[in-house]
Amino acid sequence: MSKDNTRAYNKKSVADIDVKGKKVLLRCDFNVPVDKETGKIRDEGRIVAALPTINYLLDNGAAVIACSHFGRPKGEFKPEFSLCDVADCLSKHLNRPVKMSKDVIGDDAMTLSQNIKPGEIMLLENTRFHPEEEKNDPEFAKKLASMADIFVSDAFGSVHRAHASTEGVSRFLPAVSGFLLNEELKYIGGAISDPKRPLVAILGGAKVSDKLAVISNLLKIADTVIIGGGMAYTFFKAEGGKIGNSLCEDEQLSSVLKCKAEAKERGVKLLLPVDSVAGAEFSNDVDPVVVDSGAIEDGMMAMDIGPAAIGEFVNEIKDAGTIVWNGPMGVFEFSKFAEGTRCIASAVANSNAISVIGGGDSAAAVRKFGVADKITHISTGGGASLEFMEGKALPGIVCLLDA
């Protein structure tokens, strides 16, 4: 097993350093979902998730200069992408004022950050108001860093990007992880570097091309890899099966055959859904029919795994020591095709395994099916958790001080 594919990060956290009397530049993930019509914050989850690190810093005598990106303002000041509402929401949760700066590295930010006292918090404007943020411009990073003595990174959802506020600032300041990021390192890092066995990886979702790198890495680490969702049908077609109108990426046929061969070579159990639930069109207003996954009639589209597949997958999950799950088993947004994802969510929740769920749709699924509180760890970053599981070096983590 190559070390690169089982990347664990042993990084210093905010609890390992003295923050008393220090100014801390804290990178949060305040990229909250907003209502398209009113512009109001739709889900405060990301703000609430940042509270433990912020409260720890404030209670331990640090002054906090928080920053985040928000949406895609494309490097320009645009009022609809201001973090003002986030500052108000944060202030409500912290029960203390949050000073909002009018700019990111301008006069207002500099003056506020010079005058901030221990136990106080301010928030910089959206880092993406400057094109230099995404370009990881050293001068921009230096200016951001100049406001503080320490950099604390707590924005897991952005650590796969080498931006000025996620990576660049670490070249000018001692950099450590916050509690939220630390949890991701502990659980995702633990699952792929030192899993309690057997390690069962469950991968689903629509596009196999998005998940090939993660499948390939998990084949080197896991004992069992379960494949469901729309991406399973590229495997069936590659083996000469009939898949009707089911999702398929023809350009990936040879890649998925390589995955199968690799699994065989490594002695990894690679499970595909033996049966599926199909419908005549991509809609919930169709009659669901159970079909063999490699013998789907023309005009039919597989939109969920079938009952035999559920039974086989649940059986495998029940004995797992560690489970990592990324991607739904079917079109769980449609009630008639949600059963596969619901059963897998409930099996993962009821197992005694350490369970780690990548962000995005599988996280939404465990919440929808009311089992989120029985999952050991639900990642806060979709893209970042996928790249973590691919074994990639994530720039926003690599740059932190080693423990």
Q: Which residues contact ligand AMP (rule: CB under 6 A)?
A: 205-207, 210, 229-230, 247, 302-303, 327-328, 330-331, 333, 360-361
Closer to ligand AMP by CB, 17 or 213: give it. Answer: 213
Catalytic one of 205, 279, 360, 396: 360
CA angle 235, 239, 241 (to 5 degrees): 90
How far apart CA 226 and CA 215 sit, in angstroms, is: 10
Residues 302 and 306: their CA atoms lie apart, in Å, by 9
> What residue number has its CB nearest to ligand AMP?
205
Nearer to ligand AMP, 120 or 361 (CB): 361
Beta-carbon contacts of 105 under 8 Å, excluding residues fewer than 6 positions away, are: 124, 130, 140, 143, 144
Tokens of 31: 């990229």
Catalytic residue among 7, 46, 143, 237, which?
A: 46
* Least distance between ligand AMP and beta carbon 256 (Å): 15
Q: Hey, is 267 helix, strand or coil?
A: coil
Pick the catalytic residue: 207, 258, 260, 336? Answer: 207
Catalytic residue flag (residue 383): yes
Determine how many CB atoms are found less than 10 A away from the CB of residue 9: 22
Any catalytic annotation for residue 207? yes
> Rounded to 5 degrees, what are φ and ψ at 43?
-145, 120
The yes-or-no answer on residue 46 being catalytic is: yes
State the Cα–Cα distance between residues 325 and 317, nearest whole angstrom.
Answer: 11
**Structural tokens at position 259:** 């995955």
Q: Is position 197 annotated as part of the catalytic site?
A: no
Least CB distance from residue 301 to ligand AMP, whole Å?
7
Cis peptide before 52 (omega within 30 of 0): no
For residues 62 and 256, which CB has a smaller minimum distance to ligand AMP in the complex? Answer: 256
As measured in angstroms, the least distance from the Cβ of 313 to ligand AMP is: 14
Q: How far apart are CB 181 and ligand AMP at their closest, in Å?
A: 23
- In whole angstroms, how large is the CA radius of gyration of the chain? 23
**Identity of the residue, 122 or 256, whose beta carbon is nearer to ligand AMP in the bound complex:** 256
User: Is the CB of 360 or the CB of 391 nearer to ligand AMP?
Assistant: 360
Query: What residues contact 387, with CB distance under 8 A and at least 6 apart?
Result: 160, 394
Decide whether 152 or 277 has the Cβ nearer to ligand AMP. Answer: 277
Q: How far is the CB of 180 from ligand AMP (least distance, A)?
A: 23
Cβ atoms of residues 134 and 128 within 8 Å:
yes
**Minimum Å distance from CB 332 to ligand AMP?**
6
Contacts of 50 (CB under 8 A, 6+ apart): 28, 29, 30, 66, 90, 154, 178, 180
> Smallest Cα–Cα separation from 154: which of 177, 131, 174?
177
Q: How far is the CB of 156 from ligand AMP (least distance, A)?
A: 18
* Dist CA 48 CA 42 (whole Å): 13
End-to-end C-alpha distance for the chain, whole angstroms: 24
Closer residue to ligand AMP in complex, CB, 121/357? 357
Query: What is the rounded CA–CA span in Å between residue 59 and residue 348?
Result: 37
The span from the CA of 57 to the CA of 154, in Å, is 12
Residue 56 host element (H or E): helix 45-59
Active site residues: 46, 207, 360, 383
